[in-house]
Structure 1
Amino acid sequence: MLKEIPKQFYYFLAVILVLNLVQSYFTELIYDESYYWYYSQNMAWGYFDHPPMVALLIKISSLFFNGELGVRFMSSILSVANILVLWLLIDHPKKNTFIPHFFVLVFSMTLLNAYGFLTLPDTPLLFFTSCFLLVYKKFIDKPSLGLSIVLGVVMACLMYSKYHAVLVIIFVLLSNLALVKNKYAWYAVIIALFCYAPHFYWLYQQDFVSINYHISERPNGAYSFEKYTLGFFVNLVAIFGLTFPFIYQALFKTKASGLFNKALLFLTYGVIVFFFLSSFNRRIQTQWVILICIPMVVLVFEYMMQNKTNAKWIYRLGLANIIIIFYLRIGLVHQPLLFNMHYETHGNKEWVNKVAQEARDTPVVFENSYRNASMYAFYSGNTSFSLNNVRFRKNQYSIDNTEETVRSKKILYITKYAKEGPFTFTKADGGKYYGTYIDNFSSYRKLQCIMDMEKDAIQLGKMLDFKVYNPYSFEIPLHELKFGVAYLDRYKKVKELVPLTVETTKEQTGLLQARDTMFLKIAPPVATKIKNPAYFRIVVSENNLYFGLNGKPISLAQ
């Protein structure tokens, strides 16, 4: 199959690979990449925000290179491999005469272009979506045990890449419901579940923290048509750039002709409809809809080969897209080309060096910024930690053991919320930060405040029972702890924070024992700054640090 591909195709592929490797080397990391690099420093079967595939890619990259290329090498490899798989998905007899059109189509898609070198969860998601479709195409032609095994492994790889992968599997299944009667399809499902079992077990060990966060605990905002639904349609345009009218024309003109073609259409329309409906509840990020690029490459390219007018315009506008994308890619390295507009790839080494020169070997704790903490660790090689409080959100620093690397040590505490400090610095984006030294730093962000009462039994101002669980291997003096209650609106944003006095029983000592639970009583006051709060959560301040994220949001809705 690969031998039948013309040399011209491989020449284009080689150029793209070299381009992406060069771009990877000269472009500073974006914050998400540094966060996923932080994942890879402690390999696990799962992480707070995502499954582990992105961390695995970075770990493999680091075996070959250091620095930025040590984060992005495998992304560059997967991007050209993805293009190759997409080509294999196309059976049209004329495709070898349209190789330049194919590369213009693929390379002009903005996010497919960006994920050619950036290392993000969507990078393996795109590659394994293409692989899944290729194996599925062979499977529907002639199912077998061998293909079942391969299909199951690829489905597991999809799910290890990003949770959105479930949409790929579901919509392809919906396009061919006869699969539920196919024993080989069930073999594939069983194999996929077996391969994915380690991640399920990790989720169980972590009390399903990732699922709970994405589904119920993630802060949201009030619905805005402009920001949410209209923004969703803007994203549908942005992922294709200038070619979007002719891209969608090809989609709308394509009719289902066979099970594989039907699967491509179901996947495309399914993802669009799913996120359209989701836009009435939350803002849809551009990369969430990038999944449609994979089936669209196949559908649109086949339409181009049948419609000369469509092919002509996609080719011309695609070249214009590519020129703009090239200019922007150079601007990622050389900021003046972006008219001095700041982007995440600008100035990171500079601010990290300023902090490192001040801190030297002293660990640095960033308040409410896993982005700054991971970026600092990457470029300085020094210890850092993100201390997350009730005004922010949980992340990987909330569940791993990084907190222990700064415990009982002198640290440099950096925040953007202070008004002054002995050490200050300004980042390239204009953000000003303040640093102060803390001797013998000690935080207990993993303390859990648990309330088992039904919401109908909760009355603000009345005495309530709750318990505090200490997951640490050491005892914690109660005099180091202060309790509070945070009142949240319906979008789970903190609107009021009130310190609390807790009552203990006479039998309780002044210590919260290691891996033990203490039962306490509180009387949460009626909120005064927010009318009819939707949620409240019990929080803990340790050693005069700002209150953490210790209790889960508890509904007060009537």
Structure 2
Amino acid sequence: MNTSKLSFRHLPIHLQRVMTLAGGTVPFRSASRFAAAGMAGVVTDVLLFQLFTSLGASLALAHMGSFFAAAALNYFLDSKWPFWPRHAEDQRWRHFGRLLTVGLLALLMRGGILALLVFSWHMPPMLAIFPAVAVTAAICYLGAAFYVFPVTQNPPSANVRWRVASLGIVAFTILLRLVYLGQAQLIPDEAYYWNYAQHMDLSFYDHPPMIAWLIWLGTALFGNTEFGVRIGAFICGLVTMGYVYALARNLYDESTAMRAVLLLAILPFYFSTGMVMTTDAPLVAAWAATLYYMERALIADQNSAWLGMGIAFGLGILSKYTLGLLGPAALLFVILDPASRRWLRRPQPYLAAGLALLLFSPVIIWNMENDWASIMFQSNRVKGGSENQFAAHLLFLHLMVLLTPVGLLAAAMSFWPGAERDNSAVARRRRLFVRVLTGLPLAVFFVLSISESQRFHWTGPTWLALLPTMAWLIGQAGDFSTLSRRVRAAWKPTIAVCVFFYALVLHYVVLGIPGFPYGFLSEHYFWREATEEIEQVVAEVRQETGQEPLVVGMSKWSVASSLAFYNRNGKPMEIRSRNMFGDSGAMYDFWHPSEPATSRPIILVGMRSHELARTRRIDDIDRMLVQPGPIQEQVATRDGKPLRRIYHRIAQGYLGKDPDPESGS
């Protein structure tokens, strides 16, 4: 009993020692005043929030207004009662900037927590503010202890500081994604893949089936909600982190592995694939797993790794055909690396390839049954269709978006021959592995971009093999070039800007930012409110005519899919796509290949007004409609603020698909 009391009595001292060793300061010397100031801030925050909400303020305005008032009070008390170590006058603005950064990140996280509790868990705002304030206080305290006022006397090594920073930032980004996962509305791509799951098949016209399987499982567990659609992407993001950590640890060390996971957490492409449910989410996870097993098989010489490689590769090409580029890359490494050539005479690689092919068999079967439609479509996409233009400069711009300018520069330095000075046999094989597994897929995209424009995100997974080297360079403080030192220094503001940007965008699309209009992403986003507007039109037409109208999304699949997912009010709408008017509707060409002539009302819906008058193949679609009406514009709103425009047009019937689509061209 005495031992237990002694342990609890000394717990704050042990906690202080642990935090100090990790590089954080703990203001225990003024614990009573610190607690009093914190409580004053909490009380002010909660009371002002209650006041603002009772006056009819929006959730965003109420929680942001109360937060800034409480933060101002805490800053005033801190100036009177110094809780944290004081530094030279010239460093005060630096600390203020860091404190502001931590506060804003905590605020934007809190918005997501409030949205989750109020909109999804249906908790009254008056109660939801309490757990939201608690999380905010924890983030602010830890941020101040480790980032704003770190230990200055006998500080821990740079290695330890990077480990602690990596752990904190990765934890924050994971929590950020999890909190906003079910709050942010689906983008049209996600709604389209949700429609895959409503029409389960062995494969699909424009993608393999993995995305449909993941969404089907997620929605079976959590319902047809944003969370149910996206939970698979979130899990894929965690799987990617695990495999990248293991790969970087095998190639370098544990500290490098932590920094590699940090890069995964903050680089734009990898942050988005861990949250947005597109085919890139399972692709990136499978790509990371394949790289890990390739390194274990080819460099570590583990026979059992070939089984993992076969499974990972098979699941990867079930996610997206792009992963197939790792096959030729692995073969090239085996040819170039003398120690690996013996695998060409062993059965394991061929058995792994057979296993991957077996896993890929649903796609093969579907294509055989559908005249190889998916294979032909993907070959045309790689060729760029009818386009013929130089686009290498666009590839460079895309890489800066995917990796940030600092990330792209760091990647180029990591790929450069002089990045590492270790010339041991192990280091040379490691460098060859990284460069071949990055360089060959990237070279394919570069060659294609010389004559054709590619999708901006296609190169995203190719950098996974290079992330460990990029992470290793961050931790090097030796005699490197001035450029290397500047790139290492630039990572810190880049990390802060990226995390702040993600949190700001998520808060903006879910709760908004007071004083800022909803103009960002307005054409392709806010489909929940846009669907409500179309539902009203459908209800009016149904009441006036006594017939069920046919709703036609006049884009390839974005409009139809988004309307289908967010059609939650009243009777479900009967939805088709623009393939009714002779243009491509992607999988809608298979789900609804033809539509007979009908006297039922037709409601055309588009994101742009011209989509309701013509398609790419038919200049005038009026001849296919009975008494087509004028194009009308509607504005979807939230809390009285305009969100986006959407256009619709009503006709009294449909005459059938144009027998000669080119006749109107």
Q: Does residue 484 of the first structure (1) align with residue 660 of the second (2)?
A: yes
Correspondences of 1:105-504 after superposition (within 5 Å): 105-140=263-298, 141-144=300-303, 146-177=304-335, 178=341, 179-216=343-380, 220=385, 222-225=387-390, 228-243=391-406, 244-252=408-416, 253-254=418-419, 257-307=427-477, 309=485, 310-334=487-511, 336=513, 340-343=518-521, 346-360=525-539, 362-381=549-568, 382=572, 383-388=574-579, 392-401=583-592, 410-415=600-605, 416-418=611-613, 421=629, 424-426=632-634, 432-438=646-652, 483-484=659-660, 486=662, 497=663
- Corresponding residue SS for 1:287: coil
Partner Cα separation in structure 2 for residue 438 and residue 285 of structure 1: 39
Shift in Å, 1:11: 6.6
Mapped pair 1:33 → 2:190? yes
CA positional deviation for 1:70:
1.1
C-alpha distance in 2 between matches for 1:485 and 1:95: 61
CA deviation vs aligned residue, 1:253-304 (integer Å, no higher than 9, x gap)? 4469354542321122222221111112321222101012311211211232
Q: In structure 2, how many angstroms separate the alpha carbons of the residues matched to 1:390 and 1:421?
A: 17
Distance 1:104 1:219, change over 3 A: closer
Distance 1:307 1:59, change over 3 A: farther
**How big is the shift at 1:42?**
1.4
For residue 166 of structure 1, report the CA deviation from its aligned partner: 1.0
Q: In the alignment, which residue of structure 2 is the partner of 1:523?
A: none
Q: Distance in 1 between matches of 2:277 and 2:288?
A: 17
- Equivalent pair of 2:204/2:587 in contact (CA under 8 Å): yes
1:494 aligned partner: none
CA distance in 1, matches of 2:252, 2:297: 24
CA change 1:51–1:185 in 2 (3 A) is same
1:461 alignment partner in structure 2 = none
Q: Please say if residues 219 and 229 of structure 2, whose CA atoms lie closer than 8 Å, have aligned partners that are also in contact.
A: yes
Tell me which amino acid in the other structure corresponds to 2:475.
M
Task: Render the CA deviation track for 1:146-177: whole Å, top value 9, x for unaligned.
Answer: 43333212111010011111112221221113
Cα deviation, residue 33, structure 1: 0.6
The answer to whether the Cα contact below 8 Å between 1:79 and 1:116 also exists between their aligned partners in 2 is: yes
Structure 1: how far apart are the matches of 2:452 and 2:549?
Answer: 40
SS at match of 1:133: helix
Distance 1:128 1:143 in 2: 19
| Paired residue type of 1:342 | F
**C-alpha separation between the residues in 2 aligned to 1:102 and 1:57?**
26
Residue 72 in structure 1 maps to residue 72 in structure 2 = no
The verdict on how the C-alpha distance between 1:277 and 1:335 changes in structure 2, with shifts beyond 3 A counting, is farther
* SS at structure 2 position matched to 1:239: helix
Q: Distance in 1 between matches of 2:630 and 2:450?
A: 46
| Contact 1:27–1:345, Cα closer than 8 Å, also in 2 | no
> Could you list the runs of 5+ residues in structure 1 that have no partner in the other structure?
1-5, 445-481, 487-496, 499-528, 530-558
Cα distance in structure 2, aligned partners of 1:32 and 1:24? 16
Contact 1:131 1:154 in 2 (8 A): yes
- Paired with 1:273 and 1:483, the residues of 2 have a C-alpha distance of 44
**CA shift in 2, pair 1:93/1:131, >3 Å:** closer
For the aligned residue pairs, the C-alpha RMSD in angstroms reads: 3.2
Q: Are the counterparts in 2 of residues 370 and 397 from structure 1 also a CA contact under 8 Å?
A: yes
Aligned amino acid, residue 506 of structure 2: R
**What is the CA distance between 1:7 and its match in structure 2?**
10
> Tell me, what secondary structure is at the counterpart of 1:393?
coil
* Equivalent-residue separation in structure 2 for 1:16 and 1:412 (angstroms): 45
* Shift in alpha-carbon separation, 1:367–1:98, aligned structure 2, 3 A: closer
SS at match of 2:450: coil
Q: Matched residues in 2 for 1:391 and 1:44: separation?
A: 24
Say if 1:143 and 1:184, in contact at 8 Å, map to a contact too. no
Closer, same or farther in 2 for the Cα pair 1:150/1:390, shift >3 Å? same
Shift of 1:417: 2.5
Q: How big is the shift at 1:16?
A: 3.3
- Aligned residue among 51, 54, 73 for 2:208: 51
CA distance in 1: counterparts of 2:250 and 2:374, whole angstroms: 42
Which one has the bigger helix percentage?
Answer: 2
AA at the equivalent of 1:190:
G
- How far has the Cα of 1:348 moved from its partner? 1.0
SS of 2:276's equivalent in the other structure is: coil
Q: Is the 8 A contact 2:635 2:645 kept in 1?
A: yes
Percent identity of equivalent pairs: 18
Aligned partners of 2:333 and 2:436 also within 8 Å: yes
Q: Secondary structure at the match of 2:649?
A: strand
Equivalenced residues, count: 442
Question: What displacement does 1:77 show?
Answer: 1.4
Q: State how far apart, in whole Å, the 2-side matches of 1:368 and 1:238 are.
A: 26
CA distance in 1, matches of 2:301, 2:252: 25
Contact 2:316 2:323 in 1 (8 A): yes
Task: Report the residue type matching 2:447 in the other structure.
Answer: L
TM-score normalised per structure 2: 0.60
Give the TM-score taking structure 1 as reference length.
0.71
Structure 2 CA distance for aligned equivalents of residues 402 and 392 of structure 1: 11
> How far apart in 1 are the matches of 2:314 and 2:257?
32
Q: Secondary structure at the match of 1:135?
A: helix
Letter in 1 for 2:612: Y
How far off is 1:437 after superposition? 4.6
Amino acid at match of 1:357: Q
Q: Is the 8 A contact 2:200 2:212 kept in 1?
A: yes
**Does the 8 Å contact 2:317/2:323 carry over to 1?**
yes
Contact kept, 8 Å, 2:202 with 2:362, in 1: the verdict is yes
Cα distance in 1 for residues equivalent to 2:659 and 2:602: 25
Q: Which piece of structure 1 moves more, 248-257 or 191-200?
A: 248-257
What is the aligned partner in structure 2 of residue 17 from structure 1?
Answer: 174
Measured in 1, the distance between the counterparts of 2:351 and 2:371 equals: 29
- Secondary structure in 2 matching 1:117: coil
Instruction: Give unmatched runs, 5+ long, in structure 2.
Output: 1-162, 336-340, 421-425, 479-484, 540-547, 606-610, 614-621, 623-627, 637-642
Determine the C-alpha separation between the residues in 1 that align with 2:536 and 2:257: 52
> Helix, strand or coil for the counterpart of 1:413?
strand
Distance 2:599 2:367 in 1: 31
1:36 aligns to what SS in structure 2?
helix
Q: Which residue of 1 aligns with 2:49?
A: none
Contact kept? 1:75, 1:117, Cα under 8 Å: yes
Pair 426,263 (structure 1): closer, same or farther in 2 beyond 3 Å: farther
CA distance, structure 1, for counterparts of residue 380 and residue 331 of structure 2: 27
User: Which protein shows a greater Rg?
Assistant: 2
Q: Hey, what's the Cα distance between the residues in 2 that align with 1:60 and 1:240?
A: 31
Cα distance between partner residues in 1 of 2:164 and 2:594:
53
Q: Give the match's secondary structure for 2:602.
A: strand
Q: Which moved more, 1:298-307 or 1:420-429?
A: 420-429
Which secondary structure state, in structure 1, belongs to the residue aligned with residue 494 of structure 2? helix
Q: In 1, distance between residues paired with 2:230 and 2:261?
A: 22
Would the alpha carbon gap of residues 232 and 212 (structure 1) be closer, same or farther in structure 2, given more than 3 Å must change?
A: same
